[in-house]
Structure 1
Amino acid sequence: MRRIFFLGVFISGFCLSQQTDSLALNKESDSVKIPEKKERIKVIDDVVITGSIKPVSKSKSPVAVEIYSQKFFQKNPTPSVFEAIAMVNGVQPQLNCSVCNTGDIHINGLEGPYTMILIDGMPIVSSLSTVYGLSGIPNSLIERIEVVKGPASSLYGSEAMGGVINIITKNALSAPKLSVNLMTTSWAEHNVDLSTKFNTGKNTASLLSLNYFSFNEKIDQNKDNFTDAALQNRVSVFNKWNFQRKENRMASFALRYLYEDRIGGEMQWDRTYRGSSEIYGESIYTNRVEAFGMYQWPMKENIITQFSYNFHDQDSFYGSNPFEATQKVAFAQTYWDKKMGNHDFIVGVTYKKTFYDDNTPGTLSADGITNDPMKSPILGAFIQDQWDINEKNTLLFGYRFDYDKIHHSVHSPRFAWKFSPNPYHTLRINFGTGFRVVNLFTEDHAALTGSREVVIQSNLKPEKSINGNLNYVWKIPAGERLINLDASAFYTYFSNKIVGDFDADPQKIIYDNLQGYGISRGASMNLDYSFGFPLSVNLGVTYLDVYQKFDGETEKSRQLHAPKWSGTYNLTYKFPNNLAIDFTGQFYGPMRLPVLPNDYRPEYSPLYSLANIQVSKSFDSGFEVYCGVKNLFNFTPKNPLMRPFDPFDKNVNDPINNPNHYTFDTTYGYASMQRIRGFFGVKYNLK
C-alpha cells in the first residue's frame, strides 16, 4: 500500500506540472479551431432520444439533454454504471448500506426512487432492481449515456420525477469485431469484459458480451471487524441483434442475464453462518433476466413499437432476517410519429404491469395472514407536439394520462421552449408535472436490512410535483476556440411527498405522506474548454436546497444525503505517441446523515473529495494499456457502523456500557470505505 501511495504522489505531481485536464463532455461542446468567427460553432451535432422519444439533434431539442460517451467514462475505469455515473455533475451514486454496499442514484439531491433508469429507452431498471441491479450494468455495454435532469413523467410515467438516465447500448451493426478489457486493482478486484460481433447475413448483426467481476478479499482497514467492501462475484451476459431494413426502418432485440453473489459482514463470517444469529453477515443472491427491443412497422406512416420484460429474483439474509422477493415487469409502448408542416406530432399508448412478492408484511393481505402479491397494471397514453416556429424558436407541448387501479387517474402535462437568437446562445425553459407510485419495500434499502422495522402510517397516496427548469448554453469565443458554458436552474414543489422518518424511533422507519410540502431547488453549471495545446478541462458545480416543511412547523427538515454544494473535475493532457493522463474526481459538501438520538457521530459529513488519476497509452495495433490510482486523497467515512461489536443488539439495554441505548445501524455511511488503491488494465479492439 505504501508503494501505491508514493505512485499516486508521483503521478499527481507530474500531472499538475503538465496542467492535466479532461475532455469535453460531448461533441456539441467540443472546442474547435476554425479561423473565421462565424464558423466557430460548426461542430458535430449529436443525436439524442431521451428528451422526446424520437431521435433529434441535440442542438434542436427543446429539452436539455446531456450526453456522455463511453470514452468519457473511460477516463476513470470502473466495472459498472453505478460507479461511473459519479463523473456527471449533479448525479450522485449514493451508498445506502455500510455492510452490503448497495446504493441508488440521486439526481439533483432527490433519492434513488425518483430517478428512472432506461436501457435503450426502455424502463428496465426499476423498483427492486434500483436496490441491487445498478451495479450489475457493466460499462462494456455503453455506447453513450443521456441524462435529463428534472421530472419527465409526461413521457416516461412514474419514477421519472427526479430525472432520467438513458443507457444507450452498442449497435451490433457498428460494434468492433472483438473487444477485450481486463482490469485489476491492488485490492484484488478483477474485472473482465469480452465482446464479439458477428454477422448472420448481409442485414443482420449480433453482439455477444460477457462481463465478470470478482472481489473476494476480506479487508478491514478501519478495524471495526466488518468488511470495508462487500465481496462480490458477478456475471452478466448480453446479446443484442440489430437489423438493416428497407428505407432505414429500425429493428433490434436484446437479452441480458445477471447473476450476483454479494456478501458483507463480520470478518469471521462464512456461508455456514448464513441466516444465523451467531456471526453477523449480509448475503444476497440475485438472479435477473432482461429482454427488450423495438420494431418500426413496414408501412408509410412512422409507427414504432417498443417492449421490455424483466424478471428479478432475490434470496437474501440480513443477519438472521431473511428477505426473499420476486419481481416481474412487462412494458409495451407504441407511438406514431407524424410530421405536419412545422409540427412534429407523437401520439402513443403504453401498458406496464408489475408483479411483486416478498416475505415481508408489505405483501400481506388486510387480514395480515394470507399472502397478497402486488399486481399493478398501469395504462397510459401521451401526445406531444414539437413546433418549429422558425430557426430561433421551438415550442414543445406534451400531455400524458395514466390510469392505475389503486390511484386511478393521473395527469402529467409539460411545456418547453427553446430560443436561439444566434449559434452562440441557447435558452431552454421547461415546465411540467410529475407523479410517482411507490413500493417502499423495493425502494429503500434501509427498510430491508433488518436493522430497523418499517412502519406505514396510512394508505399512501401517489406523490405529485410541479416543476420549472431553465437552461442556458453560451459558446464564448476565446481566440480561435470556444469556451462552452452550460448553466441550469431548477425548482420543484412536491405534494403528498412520501418521507421516511428515521428520527422518531431509532429502531423504526416510519413512512407517511408528508403533511406539508417538499422543495427541491438549485442551480448547476458546467464549463469545458480545450486549450491550443493538448489540454482539456471540464469543471462542474451544483448547488442544492432540498428540504421538507411540515405543517405547523417553522423549521425545514433537510433531505438526507443531499449536499448543498457538490461538483466534478476532469482534466486530460495528451502527449505525443498516444499517451494521455486523466485526473478526475468529485467533491461533496456537508450532507445530512441519518444519526441516532444522542448520537456521538456528526449529523453532517465533512467536505471531501474522491479523486482518481490514470495514465494510458494506446497503440496502432488496437491495444491500450492503462494504470493509475483511485481515491488519491485516501478519504473514507469515520464510524460508518453503530455498535459493530453488537450487531444483533444483544446488549442494547446495558445501562453501564450503553446508557444511550444505541442500536446496531448500517445507514450512516455515505461514501465507500475503500481507501487508496492502484489499478492496471489492458484493452484491445479489433475493428
Structure 2
Amino acid sequence: MKQVIFFAILFASIMVYASPTNKKDDDKANIEGHIFDAKTKIPTEYVSIGVKGTSIGTVSDINGNFIMRGLKPGKYVLVFTCVGYQKVEKEVLVLKDKTEHVHVEMQEAKKLIDEIVVSANRVETSRKEAPIIVNVLSDKTFQQSNAQDVSQALPFQSGVRVEYNCQNCGFPQVRINGMEGPYSQILIDSRAIMSSLGGVYGLEQIPVNMIDRIEIVKGGASALFGSNAIAGTINIITKEPINPSYSISTDLSSIGMKAYAQNFNSNAVVISKDQKAGASFYQTFRKRNPYDYDNDGFSEIGKLDVFSFGTKSFFKINNTNKITLEYHTTKETRRGGDMFDFQPHLSNICEMTDHNIHSGGLSYDYISLDAKNRYSVYASGQYIDRDSYYGSNQDPNAYGKSEDFTLLLGTQGSNKIDNLIFLPASLVYGFEYSSNELHDEVKGHNILTNQKTNVYGGFGQVEWSSKKINFLLGGRLDKHNLIKNPIFSPRLNALYKPTENLQMRISYASGYRAPQAYEEDFHLTQVGGLSLRTFLAENLKPEYSNSLSFSLDYYLQLGDNYQTNLLFESFYTDLDDVFALKVIESDTINNIMIQERYNASGAVVKGISLTGKLTYKDLYSITLGYTLQSSKYKEIQFWSEDIQVEGTDQMLRTPNNYGYTTFSISPIKPLDISLTGTYTGKMKVPHFAGYIENDRIETTPSFFDLNVSLAYSFSLSKSTGIKLSVGMKNILDSYQNDFDKGINRDAGYIYGPMQPRTVYLGLNLFSN
C-alpha cells in the first residue's frame, strides 16, 4: 500500500508541475497547408501532422488540407506521417499575426525499412537503427491469416511456434527459439501485467481487432522489460486513436466440416475537433462449437464463448503533456471433454473455466520542446476471477476457484545528450514495482495455492551512436521476494553498419526465473482418468540464463519498385539450474497424478534462423522463414514415474527445424489473394499411459499447414467501403491422426497444427 501512495503522490506532483500557466500570450501565428501523393498528385487524407518536440498536432481532411492555429512565432519542424507513406519532416518559420502556407508531397513507404518499434529499448526507434532485431507482425498479417486472436497470428515469424497442449480445453502456448511459454514475457503496450494465471489462456483471450501491431524480440536482449524474458518478449501494441473511423466485421467458419465458429468484431475511433482528445473502442463476440476428430464423443478442440470490450483514450494537457487511459475486459467460458449438455461433474471428462478479466492502465507523458527529454509515470493492473472444473470420472470434488491481481507501477525517463564522454548518446532509466497476489483453491481435494510475489526493479542503459557504430550498455536490478539476494541482469548490444544497407548486431544478456508457480500449474491436464497437477519441489532454486545472439540484416532497394530484406540470426542460451518436470506419484483415490518442478543441472538452446522478404510495389510480397535449432539438457532427464521408461536429454515438444511462409498478390486493385503456411518438423513428445499400456516417448511426423484467403473490396459510398472474404485453413488437412480415445486418454498427447481443414466466409463494413 505504501508503494501505491508513493506513486500517487509522485504522479500528482508531476501533474501540478506540468500544468500550463495562466500567462496569456497574444503573439499568435498559423500554419495551413495541402498534402498530396507525390506520384498520383491526389490529395492525401488522414495524414497526421505534428510539431516535433511537442504534442501539438492535427490531421488532414478528405481534401488533403490542414491548419494549425494559435502558434507562437518562431521556427517549427513539422512531422508528417501516414500509413503507407514515408515520414516527412519540414522546417517552417512563422511570424506574428501571419499564416504560413505549406505544401507537402508524400512518398510511398519502403515497407521493409521504415517501421518504428519500441521493444528494442523502451523508446520509439526506427527498426533499422534499433540495437537489437525487432520483428513486427502487422494488421496485414492478421488479415492474410484470418487470425482472430494473438495465438493465430504469432506463428508467422522465424523462431516462433504456437501449439495446443490439451485436447480438452485447448491450452495454447507460444515457444520462442524452442523454449516453452513461461520463458517468454508477454507485454501489453510495453507493460508486464500478464500473470501466470492470465497466461494459461491469454493468447486466445486477446483479439486482434484491439491490436495495432505485435513486436517480437527473440532472446534476452530486451532485458529492460524484465529479466525473466529469457526466450524473448512479445509486445502487443494496442490501437491508438488517430483517425476518426469505424468498422464492423463478421466471419463464419466450418472446422473439419463438423463444428462451426463465428466471430463478430466492431471498432470505432473518435477525435475532438481540436485534436487534443480522442478515444478508440473495440468489441468482440466469439463462439466456437466443440470439434470431435475421431467420433469417440470427446472433443479435440473445445467449446468457446467469449465477449471482449476495450477502449484507449488520450488527453493533451498542453503542447508537451499527455495523459493516456486504457481499459479492456474479457468474459470467457471454455469447455472440453464430453457430454457438453450436462453439468461438469456429470461428464466423464471435463475441463471448464469461466473467466472474468479486467485490465487497465494510466500513464502520464512529458516531452520537452526540443524532443531531447521524455518522462513518464504509469500504472497498470489486471484482475482475474476464474471458476474452474478439471476432473474425470464424474468427480464432484474437482471444482476450483481462483482470484488473481497484478499491479505494475513505474516511472521512466530518457534523455538525448550531444556528447557523453566521446559520442552523442541516449539515456533510458526508470524504476518499476510489480506485485501479484494469487489465490487458487480446489476445496474438494484440499488443494490451496496462496502466492504473493513482489518485485522491485530498477533499469538503466546508455546508447552511444555514430554513423557506423551504435553501442549499448545497460542492465536491470531486481529484488524478488522469493529470492534472498537482488539479481543484476546486464545487457550489452552493438550495432555495426558497414554500409547503408547492412547492419550487423551482437548481443549478450542474462536473466532468471523465480521459483514460483507458472502457467502450466493452473491447467490440469486429464491423463488416464486422473488430473495432472504440478507442485514445486522443496528448496526449488531460481533458474539463471546467459544468452548470446548475432545477426546480419541486409536491405536492398532495386529501383523504385522492388524491396528485399535478408536476415540471418544465430542464438545461444545457456540455462543453469533449469526447471524440469517429472511425474512422482499417482493417487487413484483422489484422481490425481502429481508431477514435480525441480532443478535439473542445466540446458543449452542454440540455433540459427533465416528470413527473406521481397516486395514489388503494392502488387505482391513474399516472405520465407526457417529455423534450425538444438534444445538439450546437460544430463539425461526422467519425465515418467515408470522406472522402465528411458530418460532423454532432448527438450520434449521441440522440433529441430520449423518455418513459415506468406505470399500476397493484388492482381487488380480491389482483389487481394494470400497464401500463408507453417512447417513443423519431427519432434519427440511424451505420451502417458491410460489409453496406451505404458508411458513412452513418441516421434511425431512433420506437418505443413497451408492456408489461402481471397478478399474483394469495393466502395458503397464516398465514406463507406465493404470487403468480402473467403478462405480455407489447412488446405492439405495436415493434422494429427493418432489421438487417444475415451475416458482414459492422455489429453496432453496433442501436437501439430491447431485445427484441421477449415473453410470460412467473412464480411467487413468500414469507413473509407
TM-score by length of structure 2 reads: 0.76
From 325, 333, 343, the counterpart of 1:261: 333
Q: 1:348 aligns with which of 405, 410, 430?
A: 430
Q: Give the structure 2 partner of residue 651 of structure 1.
A: none
Residue equivalent to 1:183: 251
Instruction: Summarize the Cα distance change of 1:646–1:231 in structure 2 as closer, same or farther, 3 Å threshold.
Output: closer
Are the aligned partners of 1:335 and 1:347 in contact in 2 as well (CA < 8 Å)? yes
1:148 is matched with 217
Sort the Cα spacing of 1:541 and 1:42 in 2 relative to 1 into closer, same or farther, 3 A: closer
Partners of 2:580 and 2:600 within 8 A in 1: no
Match of residue 591 from structure 1: 683
Corresponding residue for residue 67 of structure 2: none
More displaced, 467-476 or 136-145? 467-476
Asked if 1:610 is matched to 2:705, the reply is yes
Alpha-carbon separation, structure 2, partners of 1:261 and 1:40: 43
SS in 1 for 2:193: strand
1:479-537 alpha-carbon deviations (Å, 9 max, x no partner)? 77343101100000001211112599797453344331111111101101124793321
Instruction: Show the counterpart of 1:56.
Output: 125
1:686 counterpart = 2:762? no
After TM superposition, the structure 1 = structure 2 runs for residues 316-355 of structure 1, keeping only pairs within 5 Å, are 316-319=388-391, 320=395, 321-341=398-418, 342-355=424-437
Looking at structure 1, the residues matched to 537 and 187 of structure 2 have their Cα atoms a distance apart, in angstroms, of: 32
Structure 1 residues 263-662: aligned runs within 5 Å: 263-266=335-338, 268-270=339-341, 272-276=342-346, 279-297=348-366, 301-319=373-391, 320=395, 321-341=398-418, 342-359=424-441, 373-388=450-465, 390-408=466-484, 409-440=486-517, 442-444=519-521, 447=524, 449=526, 451-476=531-556, 481-502=562-583, 508=593, 510-531=595-616, 534-550=619-635, 557-596=649-688, 599=694, 603-621=698-716, 622-641=721-740, 644-647=741-744
Residue type of the partner of 1:310? Q
Cα deviation, residue 591, structure 1 = 1.6
Displacement of 1:565 after TM fit?
Answer: 0.6
**Per the alignment, in what secondary structure is the counterpart of residue 129 of structure 1?**
coil
- The whole-number CA distance in structure 1 between the counterparts of 2:753 and 2:659 is 17
The within-5 A match list for 1:145-224 is 145-152=214-221, 154-174=223-243, 176-186=244-254, 187-200=259-272, 202=274, 203-216=276-289, 218-224=290-296
Stretch moving more, 428-437 or 498-507: 498-507
Inter-CA distance 533–241: structure 2 relative to 1 (3 Å threshold)? closer
Match of residue 104 from structure 1: 173
Displacement of 1:548 after TM fit?
A: 1.0
**Does 2:752 align with 1:665?**
no
2:654 is paired with a residue whose SS is coil
Residues 178 and 685 of structure 1 are in contact (CA less than 8 Å); yes or no, is this contact kept in structure 2? yes
How many residue pairs align between the two structures? 624
Shift in CA distance, 578/337, structure 1 to aligned 2, threshold 3 Å: same
Q: Distance in 1 between matches of 2:461 and 2:250?
A: 45
- Whole-angstrom distance in 1 between the partners of 2:413 and 2:109: 37
Match of 2:62 in 1: none
Report the Cα distance in structure 2 between the residues aligned to 1:265 and 1:43, rounded to whole angstroms: 45
Identity between Structure 1 and Structure 2 (%)? 25
Unpaired runs of at least 5, structure 1: 1-25, 30-38, 362-367, 648-663
Q: Please give the alpha-carbon distance, in whole angstroms, between the structure 2 residues aligned to 1:478 and 1:208.
A: 40
Question: Are 2:671 and 2:712, in contact at CA under 8 Å, matched by a contact in 1?
Answer: yes
Contact 1:28/1:44 (<8 A) preserved: no
Of residues 325-334 and 244-253 in structure 1, the stretch that sits farther from structure 2 once superposed is 244-253
Gaps of 5+ in 2: 1-82, 87-107, 419-423, 639-645
Is the Cα contact below 8 Å between 2:163 and 2:753 reproduced in 1?
A: no
CA pair 137-567 structure 1, distance change in 2 beyond 3 A: same
In structure 2, how many angstroms separate the alpha carbons of the residues matched to 1:75 and 1:127?
Answer: 31
Bigger RCO (CA 8 Å, 6+ sep): 1
Shift of the alpha carbon at 1:443?
Answer: 3.5
Q: Which has the larger radius of gyration?
A: 2
Summarize the Cα distance change of 1:180–1:376 in structure 2 as closer, same or farther, 3 Å threshold: same
Contact 1:514 1:550 in 2 (8 A): no
- Secondary structure of the corresponding residue to residue 373 of structure 1: strand
Higher strand share: 2
Asked whether the equivalents of residues 288 and 303 of structure 2 are also in contact (C-alpha less than 8 Å), the reply is: yes
- Find the aligned partners of 1:229 and 1:512 in 2 and give their Cα distance: 28
Q: How far apart are the structure 2 equivalents of 1:370 and 1:602?
A: 30
* Cα offsets for 1:125-161 (capped at 9, x unmatched): 2311111222111110111111100014631224311
- Equivalent position amino acid for 2:580 in 1: V
SS at 2:182's partner residue? helix
The answer to whether the Cα contact below 8 Å between 1:230 and 1:264 also exists between their aligned partners in 2 is yes
Distance 1:47 1:97 in 2: 37
**C-alpha distance in 1, partners of 2:348/2:700?**
30
Query: How far apart, CA to CA, are the structure 1 residues paired with 2:181 and 2:525?
Result: 15
- Quickly say closer, same or farther: Cα 1:438–1:93, change in 2 above 3 A: farther
Question: Per the alignment, do residues 66 and 87 of structure 1 end up closer, same or farther by CA in structure 2, a change over 3 Å counting?
Answer: same
Q: Distance in 2 between matches of 1:101 and 1:387?
A: 46
Deviations 1:646-672 (A, max 9, x none): 34xxxxxxxxxxxxxxxx421110135
Tell me by how many angstroms 1:623 deviates: 1.3
Residues of 1 paired with 2:427 and 2:707: CA distance? 45
Letter in 2 for 1:356: L
Determine helix, strand or coil for the equivalent of 1:125.
coil
* Contact 1:237/1:257 (<8 A) preserved: yes
2: CA distance between counterparts of 1:126 and 1:197? 29
**Distance in 2 of aligned mates of 1:170 and 1:669:** 34
Partner of 1:16: none
Give the corresponding residue for 1:15. Answer: none
Alignment partners' CA distance in 2, 1:601 and 1:550: 19
Residue pair 2:385, 2:403 contacting (<8 A) in 1 also: yes
Separation in 1, partners of 2:350, 2:379: 38
1:115 aligns with 2:195: no
Kept after mapping to 1: 8 A contact 2:457/2:478: yes
Task: Tell whether the 8 Å contact from 2:113 to 2:127 is kept in structure 1 after alignment.
Answer: no
After TM superposition, give the deviation of residue 625 of structure 1 in Å: 1.0
Q: Deviations over 1:531-585 (max 9, x none)?
A: 4793321100011211212289998621122111100011112111321210101
- Give distance in 2, aligned partners of 1:503 and 1:640: 25
Find the aligned partners of 2:706 and 2:668 in 1 and give their Cα distance: 25
Matched-pair contact (CA < 8 Å) for 1:27–1:43: no
Residue identity opposite 1:85 in structure 2: L
Greater displacement, 102-111 / 667-676: 667-676
Q: Does the C-alpha gap of structure 1 residues 532 and 439 become closer, same or farther in structure 2, counting only changes over 3 Å? A: same
Aligned-pair RMSD on alpha carbons? 3.0
Over 3 Å counting, the alpha-carbon distance change for 1:42 and 1:392 in structure 2 is farther
Residue pair 1:401, 1:411 contacting (<8 A) in 2 also: yes
Q: What CA distance in whole angstroms lies between the structure 1 residues aligned with 2:179 and 2:460?
A: 27
In structure 1, distance between residues paired with 2:515 and 2:332: 25
Shift of 1:446: 5.3
